[in-house]
Structure 1
Amino acid sequence: MEKEQEKQWAEAQNIAISVDLVEAAKKHLKFLTVVDRNRHLYESPALDWAIYRYNAFWLPLLAKHSENPFSEDPLVIPLDCEWIWHCHRLNPVRYKSDCEELFGRILGNYKVISSVQGTSTSKTEEIWKQIYPEEPYELDYNRPFLGDVLQKITQSAKFTNYDLVSAVKRQVPFSFQVSRPHMSDHLFLQEALARYKGFLHIIKTNRKNGIKSFCVPTYDIDLIWHTHQLNPVYYCKDLCALMGKVLEHDDTDSDRSKGKKLDTGFSQTTKQFEETFGLRYWKAGAMYRGTTPAPVTLIPIPFEAKKLHVQDNCDNNLIQFPETKSVEVILEFVEIKNFPEAHKRDIRVSFSKKQTDKIFNAKRTLNILSESGEKQVAYFQCEPNGEFLFEIVYRLPSNIPLPKSFKPFGSCSFSLQECLASRTRLSVDKWIPVVPLPGISSAKPILLHVSLSFTIPTPAPQVFHLVSSQPLFKGACFLPLPKIRTYKNAKNETSVTDDDGNGIFSLNMRDLSKDMTKGTDDLLKEVNYVADSSEMHTLAEFRKNAWFIKGSHGSFKLVNASGNNGEIFELVGDKMVKLFAGRRLDFEPKHCEKQRSEQDFMTAVEFSRDHPYGRSVALIDFKHRIFKVKDAWMILTGITLAYILSNMLRTECGFTSKVGHEENKVSAVTPTVETEALMEAGVQMVDEGTGNATHDVCDGGGCGSGCGSGCGHLAARCGGCGGGCGGYMSAGSGEYGGCGGCGSMAAKCGGCGGGCGGGKCGGHMAAKCGGCGGGCGGGKCRGHMAARCGGCGGGCGGGKCGGCGGGHMITSGATAEPVAA
């Protein structure tokens, strides 16, 4: 920071807040989690009843209590009323005016506690029953919402006419954005509070200077802001002291398209925050996650454990699966000092991990903001250890072709492990000395300004590959559990490897239906694991037309599901797991990934008391025979399950046997607002201004599904197509512009997704690349982002490189709710 920036930051940190927002935010997150387990409150009729009860019973009760407390004990608010109260308070100006109009004062939360804090409700229930003898304390959401009740709501002068239904609908996506483990970390919330104060300082400064702005928070700031508003008396007091009025919270605008109010507001907020404080605005773990996944069920599914009569479970020590953890990282190179003028031509920085990293093993390149004038940020995930290596390169004379036109200059490094171990900060802004290569001299020490933020380490999904010793066949379909006669003797083994290709163990399936040496007609098939000691362990048995799987954390019976919610199979045992066709919940495909057939996948969804609407725990990719798992208890069970289903489906209809190890991919998108790539091993390169990628980022095209921000890769040689409109060429060239469904606007790379093209390249088969239409592409590069290959988000390819872009391309989106200031 410069002196003036330090002064501004210190002034911001002196803003008085009357509430401990860090501890309050933790309670806030717990409340959102509980509400999400009661999703009937999101929809009618339960939502209508909750709004009625809030207006008719809770607010009058709260008004009496705030004026003359019923007892020394605090009131415990019913969950349904608390949810509506929560959403009402998040419009602080409207809540204040409603309270003053109806009750003559702001109704705060003094001596009121949440229903999720585990406190006894008996005293409050007693008070409620005395005042409202005909209305139960807890919501009976199964009773019909009668028309006369609705009439009471619309006609009563004692009820707010604020559209609480819409207010609730707007908060459901917010709950998804902040429902991640690192959000409740104490250090993360402390830094979020400091950034919130900086956010308020910017709004105050703009108002003081008569500047009209539309400030947009990142999600860490927005979480603290929401928490502040949930204390309405203190929020009004604090904001009136700071700005002379209550700060509005406008969350009605959700259009994240390029050039729209939310988009431009975030870009302006980013620029002002960084210029005012000298700190980066984009922060790891605080950015937009994408749209809220579609639920697998709209009704809660009750769970009861079912003990199975299986001889034994697998030994917990049979196979050791080491836990893998990951951190999210946002990296930016801000400035470089004392770089020799003789080499100062298009300077860039490549970055990689010095040590082997299971999650991130790529080498990628970014511009330096001070040299290019364009903000580029890399978002990726990696293991929480080791060092980053930063290598400075510069461009040679332009007559030398790419990529040989760049020459290394020197390097420096940064220890991520040391930074995480200190647990003092989750972001770093520092100048790092650059060591030039031998033969290169500099009069002054060369310094690189690196900005890096990261989250706390959290368990990472693990990926396993099932590599068969016999070829399979193409095709995909889901069938009921077959009768045993459909199986043949299977002597081949399937090797299970990790994502690096290291062998872990092998599985085989034995047909015992005619093997009388087992001494029973009951046992018909078994899946075995052979240990290093040559000892055989049984992982699953097929008895009486049902598979019994012995996991390290419990046993399960695999049965055909009822299919009430679209599930195909079910694991019955100590846990309830249902298997759904396609990629669901957190595994839901993003953008171009939708071009892959969803029939290639099954998602395992666990239902429990804590997750009555389900949470995804594993994904099976039958086409590539890949198993991705989140929870340790599901690893061995899930691998066995994937093996059984792969063999069963192969026998009935067939799957391809090709196993591919996905490399780290790079996606260049229009980052007019912040972007969060939910890529397991990818890197996302973005420019805040034009959205252009550097020529070094990749030669592969990307895909998008929206207008502008959803379009494909905007780098030279990189064709990409999407379902939205193409946008513009790098540096704003209109020569290759497209409209309708056009994708990449780069030289040599024409691409279309389903609309009309404009200019010289859009909408036709340009040299070497191109794809268009509405189907899946062909040619040499179909299905992945290979060198000089355009990827299509919905078009069939032509020429050498047209193809289907089912890769890791993520569109950009806005951060959180904006505030008009």
Structure 2
Amino acid sequence: MEKNQELEWVEAQQIEIGVDLVAAAKRQLQFLSAVDRSRFLYESPSLERAIYRYNAYWLPLLAKHSESPLLDGPLVVPFDCEWIWHCHRLNPVRYKSDCEELYGKILDNSNVKSTIGSSCSRETEEVWNELYPEEPFNFNSTSESQEDVSKVLSGLEKYTKYDLVSAVKRQGPFFYQVSRPHMGNEIFLQEAVARYKGFLYLIKSNREKSLKRFCVPTYDIDLIWHSHQLHPLSYCKDLKKILGVVLEHDDTDSDRTKGKKLDNGFSGTTKQWEDTFGTRYWRAGVMYRGNCPSPLVLNPYSASTNTIRDDVVSSQDCQNIVHLPELKTVEVLLEFVEVKNIPEGLKGNLFVQFMKSQPDAIFNSKWKLSILSETGVKQVASFQCEPKGDLKLELICCRSSNIPITRTPLTLGSVSLPLGLDDILVPSSKLSMERWLELKPVSDHVSSKPISLRVAISFTVPHPAQRELHMFSSRELSRWTSFLPSCTRMQRSKGWTQVTDEAGNDVINLQLRDSLKAKVGKNNIPTSKEVIGIKMSGESCHLAEFVKTGWSLIDGQWLLDLQQKSSEDDHLFKLVGKRLVRFYQGRKLDYEPKNCEKHNREQDFMSAIEFSAEYPYGRAVALFDLKFGVIKIKEEWMLVPGILTAFLLLHTWKKKGYNSLTVNEEKLEADTDHERVQKSGKEEMTMNLTNLSSSSTDLKANVSEGIAVVPIKEEDSKENITMSLNQDKLSSHCDQNTVKSGGRGNMVKSGGCGGCGAGGCGSECGNMVKSGGCGGGCGGGCGNIVNSGGCGGCGGEILAKSGGCGGSGGCGGCGGGCGSFGYKTAQPNEGKQTDGSIAGKELPAACGMECNK
């Protein structure tokens, strides 16, 4: 950051806001979470009914209370009315004009409390009942009569003409983008407020220079912007003081085609921010997550005493069987901005190779990334890793050799970047860093001046990592022992399956065998099969037995119920304890593919979805890749039942398939010969460990969350081969046919953003090299590394040329060209919105949101 840029940032932080925006953001997140658990307010007829109640009862009540308080304490807004009020206030200019037209002044929330977490609603309910005896205070979505729903607003004396139905539709997807664990963190929100002030400062500068620019926020900024707008009097007062006018929050423009208003908005905002403040605009954890997952059920779950049991296994009980050490993860966004003091003759093809200097269970390979000052292309890497150790950076020059089309790599220097908790969470870090790092030269090459690399890196707050477990049968291990040293400790008798963690450490050994249990008494139901486990301590334990309707797990504390599925949805079977878990074929909810992956592998996966009063529409807790024996588990309580369920399913997978998961015990026999990738030797082992499925024409990655998929090979001297990203991070991805490894997206693109623009949002459909824009979405298709095409028809651009993803057509509307690979590339934010949501809501970069539909 230059001195003048530092002064600009300091001046931006002098902007005064009359609201505690950190506290307001936390309240907003809590409220949006409650709305998301009550999705009847997203759709008709409940939505229309809530809009009627808002106009007919809530606004008049609020107007009376603002004139003369109706009770001593604060007024509590009914839940349904609060949601409509929330969406109305997020168009601050329209809300202001509506209030002034209908009630003569802005109706504020200064003496109003939300029903969420409020303990003083009784007084408000009494006042409500006196004024509106025919209308209950609490909204009941299940008791709507057709007569109630058919009430029309035109019969009211005062009501807003603003299209609140459309406003709700635009705001509905917002919570998914901001519902990540780090969003409510104090440090994260404080920095988000500082960035919001910087965002307002840019708009202020544009107005002072009479520049018409459409500024687009990232999701952290947009969360704070929304929080400010929810306090209408303060927002109007603050913005008039800062800008001279009330800043409009335009969420109606949804055309994110390349070159359009939203597309250009984000790239312009990114450039202006980085030129003005000298820091990176994109941040870890604030970019587009992809489209909201498709719902599994239309009607919310309601607890049943016949379903949920009290004698549930606790996480401590699970640890007695399987104990995994704590594993935390952070999301990292990395960019190499500039390099200086490069010796003459070595300038040109430079890139940075990076890896963790210490073993990392989540991120354990080498990857490379280009440098902005060298290529003129904004390229970023987004990945997940453990918050410990150092990130080792090596500056490499790919020099031309005498052999055409080949290049000889030369390492110019290296430096380490600490990523420990003490480095990330210190208040001064603000979860980001941008600085010049002096490289340590290699022994055979020393320049007169030390080479320096300008590195920009940001992180999210550490949170528990999803666990990834791998299952290997004894037959597989007999072939792979030399590649898996830990496997030598496993018993080799027929029928044993070993379970290992992310680092290859033993977790437990399992065997399905004929039951040795004798029949004793009339009430003792014999079983023909049982699962035996050997813990890492060497102690054996009885883990499951086949019973009348399925499998009893962990001494009957869980029942894997294999009875005919209910007609209420398409789940295959369920796991019942104190929690209810239903299993669905394919990748669902958070595991839903975000890229252009072909769907013919969906039958290989099974998603475990928990339903409860807290999560009435379900939340993903585990994913089974039955083809490769990989289990991803998000919750500790799911570890043991999840492992046992996956183990039992693997024995029926290849020979019997999903349709054979019935009560018939004969179909759950010990099948240790289920197939994996049809390869042999070390190549087979490598593919299994990295969880890659490959063919000569389509190389896909199914790697653990946060790991990119285009590793650098010693023999690979191709220039600028970058990596793809985790599918649910910066952008959507395409299956890319890279030279040696496939990718789910790209390491470079990222885009994504938050929400409406002070103007809208732009986006980018990035290719393997360029970045995607924050906020805009990309629906464009994506080609492979060699040519275009791809799902949705990436239009005739190859990766060596520029072009953005964007147009429509093809699979779900993918179209347009894919951006350049390493030469002239498309600029950030080339893309097309794909879900019709508010500006800035989507991120892009590698084409793909539409391709999943």
- Provide the C-alpha distance between the structure 2 equivalents of 1:362 and 1:756, rounded to a whole number of angstroms: 30
Provide the residue aligned with 1:572 in structure 2: 576
Provide the residue aligned with 1:362 in structure 2: 365
Provide the residue aligned with 2:688 in structure 1: 661
Provide the residue aligned with 1:340 in structure 2: 343
**Residues 55/356 of structure 1: CA separation in 2 closer, same or farther (3 Å cut):** same
Provide the residue aligned with 2:590 in structure 1: 586
Provide the residue aligned with 1:173 in structure 2: 173
- Provide the C-alpha distance between the structure 2 equivalents of 1:701 and 1:8, rounded to a whole number of angstroms: 35
Indicate the SS of the match to 2:449.
coil
Provide the residue aligned with 1:681 in structure 2: 706
- Provide the C-alpha distance between the structure 2 equivalents of 1:327 and 1:36, rounded to a whole number of angstroms: 26
Deviation at 1:195, TM superposition (A): 0.5
Alignment of 1:730-749 (within 5 A): 744=783, 749=787
Alignment-mate amino acid for residue 676 of structure 2: K
- Provide the C-alpha distance between the structure 1 equivalents of 2:98 and 2:375, rounded to a whole number of angstroms: 51
Provide the residue aligned with 1:89 in structure 2: 89
- Provide the C-alpha distance between the structure 2 equivalents of 1:302 and 1:818, rounded to a whole number of angstroms: 35
CA contact (8 A) 1:349 1:390 kept: yes
Task: Say if 2:254 is the partner of 1:254.
Answer: yes
Deviation at 1:207, TM superposition (A): 1.4
CA contact (8 A) 1:216 1:817 kept: no
Q: How far does the alpha carbon of each residue in 1:323-355 deviate from its partner, in whole angstroms, 9 at most, with x for none?
A: 221100000111122222232222221111101
Provide the residue aligned with 1:548 in structure 2: 552
- Provide the C-alpha distance between the structure 1 equivalents of 2:515 and 2:704, rounded to a whole number of angstroms: 43
- Provide the C-alpha distance between the structure 2 equivalents of 1:632 and 1:8, rounded to a whole number of angstroms: 47
- Provide the C-alpha distance between the structure 2 equivalents of 1:760 and 1:203, rounded to a whole number of angstroms: 37
Deviation at 1:403, TM superposition (A): 6.1
CA contact (8 A) 1:592 1:704 kept: no
Task: Say if 2:613 is the partner of 1:609.
Answer: yes
Deviation at 1:44, TM superposition (A): 1.1
**Residues 151/291 of structure 1: CA separation in 2 closer, same or farther (3 Å cut):** same
- Provide the C-alpha distance between the structure 1 equivalents of 2:626 and 2:640, rounded to a whole number of angstroms: 17
- Provide the C-alpha distance between the structure 2 equivalents of 1:185 and 1:714, rounded to a whole number of angstroms: 39
CA contact (8 A) 2:608 2:620 kept: yes
CA contact (8 A) 1:45 1:145 kept: no
Q: How far does the alpha carbon of each residue in 1:57-85 deviate from its partner, in whole angstroms, 9 at most, with x for none?
A: 00000000011111220011110000000
Of 419-428 and 573-582, deviating more is: 419-428
Alignment-mate amino acid for residue 576 of structure 1: L
Alignment of 1:645-660 (within 5 A): 645-650=649-654, 652-653=656-657, 656-658=674-676, 660=687
Provide the residue aligned with 1:457 in structure 2: 462
CA contact (8 A) 1:249 1:819 kept: no
Provide the residue aligned with 1:431 in structure 2: 436
Q: How far does the alpha carbon of each residue in 1:243-293 deviate from its partner, in whole angstroms, 9 at most, with x for none?
A: 111100011233444333222211111010000000100000000000000
Deviation at 1:219, TM superposition (A): 0.1
Q: How far does the alpha carbon of each residue in 1:567-596 deviate from its partner, in whole angstroms, 9 at most, with x for none?
A: 110112211111111110001112233434
**Residues 363/759 of structure 1: CA separation in 2 closer, same or farther (3 Å cut):** closer
Provide the residue aligned with 1:318 in structure 2: 321
CA contact (8 A) 1:714 1:745 kept: yes
- Of the candidates 601, 604, 608, which is equivalent to residue 597 of structure 1? 601
Provide the residue aligned with 1:626 in structure 2: 630
Alignment-mate amino acid for residue 661 of structure 1: N
- Provide the C-alpha distance between the structure 1 equivalents of 2:24 and 2:294, rounded to a whole number of angstroms: 29
Provide the residue aligned with 2:411 in structure 1: 408
Q: How far does the alpha carbon of each residue in 1:613-640 deviate from its partner, in whole angstroms, 9 at most, with x for none?
A: 1101001111112111000000111000
Indicate the SS of the match to 1:603.
strand
**Residues 356/575 of structure 1: CA separation in 2 closer, same or farther (3 Å cut):** same
Alignment-mate amino acid for residue 195 of structure 1: R
Alignment of 1:13-28 (within 5 A): 13-28=13-28
- Provide the C-alpha distance between the structure 2 equivalents of 1:446 and 1:311, rounded to a whole number of angstroms: 57
- Provide the C-alpha distance between the structure 2 equivalents of 1:176 and 1:761, rounded to a whole number of angstroms: 32
CA contact (8 A) 2:22 2:193 kept: yes
Provide the residue aligned with 1:698 in structure 2: 721
- Provide the C-alpha distance between the structure 2 equivalents of 1:114 and 1:531, rounded to a whole number of angstroms: 50
Task: Say if 2:471 is the partner of 1:466.
Answer: yes
**Residues 658/49 of structure 1: CA separation in 2 closer, same or farther (3 Å cut):** same
Deviation at 1:8, TM superposition (A): 1.0
Provide the residue aligned with 1:481 in structure 2: none
Unpaired runs of at least 5, structure 2: 478-492, 659-672, 678-686, 693-701, 711-716, 746-763, 771-778, 801-809, 816-830, 842-853
Deviation at 1:141, TM superposition (A): 1.7
Indicate the SS of the match to 1:405.
strand
Provide the residue aligned with 1:492 in structure 2: 495
Provide the residue aligned with 1:221 in structure 2: 221
- Provide the C-alpha distance between the structure 1 equivalents of 2:798 and 2:34, rounded to a whole number of angstroms: 55
- Provide the C-alpha distance between the structure 2 equivalents of 1:337 and 1:699, rounded to a whole number of angstroms: 22
Indicate the SS of the match to 1:406.
strand
Amino-acid identity (%) = 48
Alignment-mate amino acid for residue 457 of structure 2: L
Provide the residue aligned with 1:735 in structure 2: none
Task: Say if 2:196 is the partner of 1:191.
Answer: no
CA contact (8 A) 1:308 1:556 kept: no
- Provide the C-alpha distance between the structure 2 equivalents of 1:761 and 1:697, rounded to a whole number of angstroms: 12
Alignment-mate amino acid for residue 604 of structure 1: A
Provide the residue aligned with 1:558 in structure 2: 561
Q: How far does the alpha carbon of each residue in 1:76-131 deviate from its partner, in whole angstroms, 9 at most, with x for none?
A: 11100000000000000000000000000000002101110232311000000010
**Residues 696/462 of structure 1: CA separation in 2 closer, same or farther (3 Å cut):** farther
Deviation at 1:236, TM superposition (A): 0.4
Of 264-273 and 505-514, deviating more is: 505-514
Deviation at 1:744, TM superposition (A): 3.8
CA contact (8 A) 2:623 2:631 kept: yes
Deviation at 1:682, TM superposition (A): 2.6
CA contact (8 A) 1:394 1:406 kept: yes
**Residues 717/656 of structure 1: CA separation in 2 closer, same or farther (3 Å cut):** closer
Provide the residue aligned with 2:164 in structure 1: 164
Alignment-mate amino acid for residue 626 of structure 1: V
How large is the RMSD of aligned CA atoms in angstroms? 3.9
Q: How far does the alpha carbon of each residue in 1:524-554 deviate from its partner, in whole angstroms, 9 at most, with x for none?
A: 32111023565421111112242111189x5
Deviation at 1:562, TM superposition (A): 1.0
CA contact (8 A) 1:349 1:392 kept: yes
Deviation at 1:702, TM superposition (A): 11
Deviation at 1:46, TM superposition (A): 1.1
Alignment-mate amino acid for residue 528 of structure 1: I
Unpaired runs of at least 5, structure 1: 473-489, 666-676, 686-693, 732-739, 763-773, 776-792, 795-810
CA contact (8 A) 1:329 1:381 kept: yes
Alignment of 1:739-818 (within 5 A): 744=783, 749=787, 753=791, 817-818=838-839
Q: Which has the higher contact order (CA 8 A, sep 6+)?
A: 2
CA contact (8 A) 2:256 2:833 kept: yes
Deviation at 1:182, TM superposition (A): 0.1
CA contact (8 A) 1:177 1:219 kept: yes
- Provide the C-alpha distance between the structure 2 equivalents of 1:452 and 1:726, rounded to a whole number of angstroms: 22
Deviation at 1:146, TM superposition (A): 3.8
- Provide the C-alpha distance between the structure 2 equivalents of 1:210 and 1:102, rounded to a whole number of angstroms: 34
CA contact (8 A) 1:360 1:383 kept: yes
Alignment-mate amino acid for residue 466 of structure 1: M
- Provide the C-alpha distance between the structure 1 equivalents of 2:798 and 2:241, rounded to a whole number of angstroms: 58
- Provide the C-alpha distance between the structure 2 equivalents of 1:185 and 1:743, rounded to a whole number of angstroms: 35
CA contact (8 A) 1:47 1:165 kept: yes
TM-score, with structure 2 as normaliser: 0.78
Indicate the SS of the match to 1:680.
coil
- Provide the C-alpha distance between the structure 1 equivalents of 2:361 and 2:313, rounded to a whole number of angstroms: 37
Task: Say if 2:135 is the partner of 1:119.
Answer: no
- Provide the C-alpha distance between the structure 1 equivalents of 2:282 and 2:621, rounded to a whole number of angstroms: 29
